[in-house]
Amino acid sequence: MDAALEKIERLKRERNAVILAHNYQPGEIQDLADFCGDSLGLSIEASKTDAKVIVFCGVRFMAETAAILSPGKTVLLPEKTAGCPMADMITAEQLRQLKAKYPGAIVVCYVNSTADVKAESDYCCTSSNAVAVVDSLPADKKILFVPDRNLGSFVAERTGRDIELWPGYCTTHVCITEDDIRKARQKWPDAIVMSHPECTEPVRKISDELLSTGQMLKFVKKSSAKRYIVATEKGIIHALRKENPDAEYIPATERAICPNMKKITIDKVIASLEELKERITVDEQIRVKAKESLDRMIEILPSD
Ligand code: 13P
Ligand code: SF4
């Protein structure tokens, strides 16, 4: 085994640590992780692990979610500046103002949000269970969906519900254009276009499948197709190749790279385990309220 990986294994044993990685992480980080998955899978894993230390290879809101769900554990983010621009597109104060405008409405927040925003929300969701979460809510209630307007409008299309959208978006997924998909389809007419619901409406409209990253992995495992055009962050292609190596995966565009996800390196994982940094904590009052919305989310699994 490579010296760096041996060191990580030794440190993990010494610290009683587990390494969780999101599907958008660099390939070498996905390969060294104990568990790799989508946001819902990672939240579930973080809530049930026996390890004392969780090294979260992802972005800040993911590590914060782990800290909310596992209060007794040390949660580490190997790179403190790895944030999510979408999560920062709404503050708790802005959400309070929105709630005041629509009294009686139910707030559903995408897990890509700060702990403060989760604490102000009724339900949390991920892209894999957003439709199931909204479907479970009383039919006569208005829904406020924050912060992703693209995931929110996808959920409105699928559920037919009255949803007030917040104008947030993923800076990486909006780089994927309708033109990218059309050009890729012309070049590879036999390919299945799999897009993430964070993509814009014109991209979603001309896609074959709209799936979270975890759902994409399940889809290629079952499908007999030999070629896929992938409209999401490029890191997923590493995971797709591992899941179904016989198929070909074409990124819809080379521009779909999340710079924050790519800040995690092997050296930073080692430093994180050695020095127990960057420790992610959440104020206890906020944590307790945020956990309620996350617990409600974990109870509602996607129907697939
Ligand atoms: P999923 O892996 O849950 O599809 O999330 C996508 C994403 O953008 C995470 O930041
Ligand atoms: Fe945030 Fe988009 Fe990066 Fe996911 S891919 S962390 S939503 S900026």
What integer is the mean pLDDT of 247-255?
A: 98
Residue 1 has pLDDT above 80, yes or no: no
Check pocket membership of 38 for ligand 1, CB cut-off 6 A: yes
Answer whether 113 contacts ligand 1 (Cβ < 6 A): no
Report which of 3, 255, 297 is spatially closest to residue 121, judged by C-alpha positions.
297
Q: What is the pLDDT of residue 75?
A: 97
Q: Is the CB of 129 under 6 A from ligand 1?
A: no
Sheet with 17-22: strands ordered across: 35-37, 17-22, 53-57, 74-76
Say if residue 249's pLDDT is above 80: yes
The C-alpha angle 191, 201, 169, rounded to 5 degrees, equals: 110
Task: Please tell me if the CB atom of residue 113 comes closer than 6 angstroms to any atom of ligand 2.
Answer: no
By percentage, how much of the chain surpasses pLDDT 90? 95
Residue with CA closest to ligand 2 atom 7? 170
Query: Which has the closest alpha carbon to 65: 5, 138, 126?
Result: 126
Classify residue 145 as exposed, middle or buried by CB count within 10 Å of its CB (0-12, 13-18, 19+): buried
The atom of ligand 2 lying closest to the CA of 83 is: 6
Please tell me the pTM assigned to this model.
Answer: 0.96
pLDDT at position 262 is: 98
Distance of CA 271 to the CA centre of its chain: 24
- Which residues pair with residue 259 across a beta bridge? none
CA of 13 to the centre of ligand 2 (A): 31
pLDDT band at 302 (very low <50, low <70, confident <90, very high): confident
Residue closest to 277 by CA, chosen among 50, 82, 10: 82
From the CB of 175, is ligand 2 less than 6 Å away?
Answer: no
Q: How far, in Å, from the CA of 222 to the mean position of ligand 1?
A: 21
- Helix/strand/coil (H/E/C) assignment for every residue in 146-181: ECEHHHHHHHHHHHCCCEEECCECCCCHHHCCHHHH
Q: pLDDT tens for residues 89-114?
A: 999 999 999 999 999 999 999 999 99
Tell me the CA end-to-end span of the chain in Å, nearest whole number.
38
- Rounded Cα–Cα distance for residues 4 and 268 (Å): 11
| Residue type present at position 243 | E
What is the predicted pLDDT for the residue at 119? 98
Average pLDDT, the chain: 96
The residue-averaged pLDDT of 172-177 equals: 98
Q: How far is the CA of 38 from the centre of ligand 1 (A)?
A: 6
Neighbours of 31 (CB within 10 A): 15
In the chain, helix, strand, coil percent, each to 5? 45, 15, 40
Mean pLDDT across the stretch 250-260?
A: 98
pLDDT at 27: 98
The pLDDT, as a whole number, for residue 299 is 86
pLDDT average, residue stretch 179-186:
98
The pLDDT of residue 304: 64
- Which ligand 2 atom lies nearest to the CA of residue 84? 1
Gap from CA of 1 to ligand 2 centroid (Å)? 32
> Ligand 1: does its nearest atom lie under 6 Å from the Cβ of 30?
no
Residue 2 phi/psi, 5° resolution? -55, 145
Q: What is d(CA 118, CA 105) in angstroms, rounded to the nearest whole number?
A: 15
